[in-house]
Structure 1
Amino acid sequence: MSEEILVNVTPMETRVAVVDNGVTQDIHIERSVSLGMVGNIYAGKVLRVLPGMQAAFVDIGADRSSFIHVSDIHDPGVEGRARSSDAIGDHLHEGKKVIVQVTKDPLGSKGARLTTELSVSSRYLVFMPQTSHVGVSQRIDDAEERTRLQALLTAGLAAEEMDGQGGYILRTAAEGVGLEEIQADLRFLKRLWAAVSRRAKAARKAELLYSELPLHMRTVRDLARPGVERILIDSRESFTALQEFCGEYMPEVSGLLEHYPGERPLFDLHGIEEDIQRALSRKVGLKSGGYLVIDQTEAMTTIDVNTGSFVGRRNLEETIFKTNLEAATMLARQLRIRNLGGIIIIDFIDMRDEEHRRQVHRSLEKAMARDPARNKITDVSALGLVEMTRKRTRESLQQLLCEDCPVCQGRGMLKTAETVCYEIFREIMRDARAYEADSLLVLACQGVIDRLLDEESANVADLEEFIGKSISLRVEPDNNPEHFDIVLL
């Protein structure tokens, strides 16, 4: 595996692309006007307790109230045992000051999701001040390496006299590191948490206590794993900042950093801009000629697989099988690029051969195994669908870059000119009965007026005779295709 990380920095936004053998696998975007909140720690104030939902709304100083469920409230002194109470009212009341951390960014109309189980991260460790658990990332499979790392962490805690001062998890990036690196991280986390604790005690209103690193630094901290050959940054200022950051916290990554001084934009050079545009399209083409149709809704995402122009060489069953195999790999990549989460329903083309179904399912599992977001895939359902879930922690690419169409209001469909004409006829009938007027003026877009003057001209004439009033027409070029006005004259 040969991976590159491309970092495009401007004053307005930072964009990061993970590229594997020339193919874009992941895209992250952070805009300066709407920085992500996940990982931030706030002093908050409880605004409203909802016993029926076992949850509460909390003011953390953001535009929208944030949300916390009773299951996300840390219960001191009961680690490893049953909770003392599952009633939200036993933990929170209106006006109470709480120290909380964001686990999910605001999505759509929903505020941020919160927890009181706090944690802060370094290169190799996650520190959890409210627990005593010490563990190793599940992504480190080697049993000997897990044992070695746990022993190193125990030794590091003893050397730094930090035993019993919180819990720790060794991150995936810790694989292969030594005691010196772990001790450096422990000292950093100790200083960091001391600063957060001081701010928390001094806070008198809803305010930010700790913010996560900016995207380009988080990228180096979290994504610079074994297999990454280089990290290319197109901003001299950000490159220098990353050099200093890596020199202090991640010296082994410093050699991967490269500054890109070229005149041609970095994302254009590597085809990332085209991949972003394709990721906003509903239809995704496959090399074979087949295609996917991806529809993102509030409840779930649906993916439909079609053979398209692919006719195959042998028979229909083989054509369907090959299309489904290619689709399984492509849709796993699209889920990462688009950052689609929640419930995902995949409608593969029906396959009669049981072995073909198993191979397509295995291919999907293999493709999704490389996805850093936690996911779960079910077997093929009785209706021939594959259901899966993918953890959602931030807005999708579409939610981040797009908004609902002001004309169709997000429906993706518009009424035909014929439908609007008939709505106009019905409105004229209502107005003619309800108001006294000598004539009526219809204001509508060009397409609707053209139809009224052409295909519907006989209906307009019949209507004039029926209501006993003249009807005149005028084009309003600024009107959207569904909007019209009727003026009484």
Structure 2
Amino acid sequence: MTGTELLMNVTPQESRVALVENGVLTELHIERARQRGIVGNIYKGRVVRVLPGMDAAFVEIGRDRTAFLHASDVISRNEDEGRGSEAIRDLLHEGQELLVQVTKDPMGSKGARLTTYITVPARHLVLMPNQNNVGVSTRIEDDAMRARLREQVEALRDELAPQHGFIVRTAAELADHEALGTDTAFLKKIWDSLQEAARSAPAGTEVYADLPLVQRILRDMVGVDLERVRIDSRETYQKIVDFSRRYLPELTERIEHYPGERPIFDLFNIDEEIQRALERKVELKSGGYLIFDQTEAMTTVDINTGGFVGHRKLEETIFKTNLEAAQAIGRQLRLRNLGGIIIIDFIDMQDDEHKRQVIRALEKALERDHVKTQICDVSPLGLVEMTRKRTRDSLEHQLCEPCPTCGGRGYLKTAETVCYELFREILREVRQYDARELRVLASQSVIDLLLDEESASLAELQSFVGIPIRFQVETLYTQEQFDVVFV
């Protein structure tokens, strides 16, 4: 056993699934009833706008925002043409209706990302409608087994679904011919019913929804040696057992109902780990630390030695800190579900062998990551560039919203800066309007500074404008807010 288990905390409002490896939380999946993800769902869409300049189109799928479909994700009319070789205006036109599948959830101000290369997964196989090839998962490395599985699935396809293609999943490694045949017939039946529903459905209708989170996680944990699965909802436990008996029979005996009075996530202090995963700073055992910053374009990770001074020379201290950081970054990327471009600023190393070992440590830390990653070597500037496929929002974006005080900037103007802005505003207003008195409404910190350290400047300003200035503390104002009122 690997010491890997799934903990499922299920309520009517929210489902949370934690992947714990050797007692440490490494992944967290959250699905809320009001904000359920739509990756994998299939819709009957309608093209509302074609954008030749972006080689893409916007498609109405019945959601709040139109979804995005790039030309490279549209099946070509000419099978001899390579994927993405035709211009969008040759593939689609406004008002056209078509079946599309969501590959990325809506994120921020962006709509969902779509493809017309539709896939429908089952336990051992993935159906690729109207395609004629059979592929085998790269995780099945034995050449003889790959050849056997390809031959079996090609025979089943010719017999049951000759017009479709299939991908053989990693789970099929131990599947017999009967199990593969069951999956082939099951997927063909799903696709036929899906097409039937799509024919009569209006544009903007969902015609196929992926499984709920708890079943989907089990299905996608193919190849993971789970020691056990614990669920704190008896109703969900029964659903998972029924699902497992049908699709994952080898896992059924390891599924348990957790009846304890203590919350299931308290078993491994998971809620505390979630709180730490929302903070910028991650402490390392050595005394060093990491700083994570998410921006619209990328995520940056900075490594610092902090209080770690080591026992030998500086280069050795830096190397050990970077090695520990590489392992921590691998875990944090999974836990925080950070995707897109990621730039890691390791502490500068002079030894090329040290650089190689740090990169290897990062690769090893990401080996168990189910999401595709790509890592580049250390750049001339000492940075490591990598990508991690992004299909859903990060943990921070799922659980948090921008600060209403700073608007997500992460900082506020100082009280001194606001005082000087206020002075300029008073001068601007006095030149435009006649008034007997000015009243300044601002936060406590700004008014305290005006009446104390800036009192001489305030007296000089009041003498210059020639009218009295009164002050009023507004407790609901942030430090940056103020108003100048004429009386």
Give me the TM-score of the superposition, normalised by structure 2: 0.97
Q: Number of residue pairs matched?
A: 486
Report how far residue 188 of structure 1 moved. Answer: 1.5
Check conservation: 1:173, 1:222, Cα contact below 8 A.
no
| Structure 2: runs of 5+ lacking an equivalent | none
Amino acid corresponding to residue 100 of structure 1 in structure 2: V
Check whether the contact 2:58–2:68 (CA below 8 A) recurs between aligned residues: yes
Displacement, 1:313? Answer: 1.5
SS at match of 2:480: coil
Superposed, 1:198-217 pairs within 5 Å as 198-217=196-215
Measured after TM superposition, the shift of residue 441 of structure 1 is 0.6
Matching residue of 1:13:
14
Q: Secondary structure at the match of 2:35?
A: coil
Amino acid at match of 1:106: P
Structure 1: distance between partners of 2:308 and 2:344: 20
Q: Give distance in 1, aligned partners of 2:253 and 2:220.
A: 16
**Structure 1 residue 204: Cα displacement:** 2.4
Q: Paired residue for 2:452?
A: 454
| Aligned equivalent of 2:87 | 87
Counterpart CA distance in 1 for 2:37 and 2:298 is: 23
Deviation at 1:83, TM superposition (A): 5.9
1:136 paired to 2:136: yes
Q: Write out aligned runs for 1:295-306 (5 A).
A: 295-306=293-304
Tell me the residue number matched to 1:188. 186
Which segments of structure 1 move beyond 6 Å, counting only runs of 4 or more? none
Report what 2:103 is aligned to: 103
Q: Over residues 213-250 of structure 1, what are the superposed CA-to-partner deviations in whole Å (9 max), with x where a residue is unaligned?
A: 00000011111534111111111110011111112222
Identify which range, 219-228 or 292-301, moves more after superposition. 219-228
Partner deviation per Cα, 1:147-173 (whole Å, 9 max, x = no partner): 232233234445xx2252301111122
Cα distance in structure 2, aligned partners of 1:199 and 1:214: 20
**What is the CA–CA distance in structure 2 between the aligned matches of 1:175 and 1:272, rounded to whole Å?**
33
Q: Which residue of 1 aligns with 2:282?
A: 284
Counterpart of 2:356 in structure 1: which amino acid? R
Report the Cα offset of residue 84 of structure 1. 9.6
Equivalence for 2:149:
149
**What displacement does 1:331 show?**
0.3
- Kept in 2: contact 1:76–1:130 (CA 8 A): no
Matched residue, 2:352: 354
Map of 1:70-85 to 2, 5 A cutoff? 70-76=71-77, 78=79, 81-82=81-82
Equivalent residue, structure 2, for 1:431: 429
How is 1:19-418 mapped onto 2 (pairs within 5 angstroms)?
Answer: 19-76=20-77, 78=79, 81-82=81-82, 86-157=86-157, 161-223=159-221, 225-418=223-416
Structure 1 residue identity aligned to 2:392: R
SS of structure 1 residue aligned to 2:439: strand
The Cα shift of 1:90 comes to 1.4
Identity %: 58
Superimposed CA distance per residue, residues 410-453 of structure 1 (whole angstroms, 9 cap, x where no aligned partner): 11010001111111111111111110001101111111111111
CA contact (8 A) 2:24 2:268 kept: no
Shift of 1:130: 2.1
CA-CA distance at 1:186 after TM superposition:
1.5
Residue type matched to 1:71 in 2? S
SS of corresponding position for 1:33: helix
- Matches of 1:329 and 1:213 in 2, distance apart? 32
- One-letter code aligned to 1:109: S
Counterpart AA for 1:373 = V
Moved more, 414-423 or 247-256: 247-256
The CA deviation string for residues 109-142 of structure 1, in whole angstroms up to 9 with x for no partner, is 0000011111100111110012111011112222
| AA of the residue aligned to 1:46 | V
**SS in structure 2 at match of 1:7:** strand
CA distance in 1, matches of 2:427, 2:238: 71
Paired amino acid for 2:40 = G
The residue identity in structure 2 corresponding to 1:21 is: N
AA in 1 matched with 2:35:
S
Q: Is the 1:117–1:130 Cα contact (8 Å) retained in structure 2? A: no
The one-letter code sitting in structure 1 at the alignment partner of 2:241 is Q
For the 8 Å contact 2:124–2:183, the answer to whether it is kept is yes
Q: Give the deviation of 1:49 after TM superposition.
A: 0.7
Partners of 1:132 and 1:269 lie apart in 2 by: 49
What CA distance in whole angstroms lies between the structure 2 residues aligned with 1:367 and 1:139? 18
CA distance in 2, matches of 1:488, 1:382: 59
- The answer to whether the 8 A contact 1:105-1:394 is kept is yes
The separation in 2 between residues aligned to 1:225 and 1:267, in whole angstroms, is 24
TM-score (norm 1): 0.97
CA distance in 2, matches of 1:174, 1:399: 35
Which has the larger displacement, 216-225 or 409-418? 216-225
Q: What is the root-mean-square deviation in Å for CA atoms of aligned residues?
A: 1.4
Matched to 1:164, the amino acid is P
Deviations 1:320-341 (A, max 9, x none): 1110000001101111111111
Query: Per the alignment, in what secondary structure is the counterpart of residue 369 of structure 1?
Result: coil
1:365 shift after superposition: 1.5
**Could you say which residue in structure 1 is the equivalent of 2:438?**
440
- 8 Å CA contact 1:137, 1:169 repeated in 2: yes
Q: Distance in 2 between matches of 1:297 and 1:84?
A: 29
Q: What is the CA–CA distance in structure 2 between the aligned matches of 1:84 and 1:331, rounded to whole Å?
A: 35
- C-alpha distance in 1, partners of 2:393/2:130? 29
SS for the counterpart of 1:447 is helix
Counterpart contact for 2:161–2:184, Cα < 8 Å: no
**In the superposition, relative to structure 1, how do residues 373 and 83 fare at CA in structure 2: closer, same or farther (>3 Å)?**
closer
Distance 2:151 2:376 in 1: 37
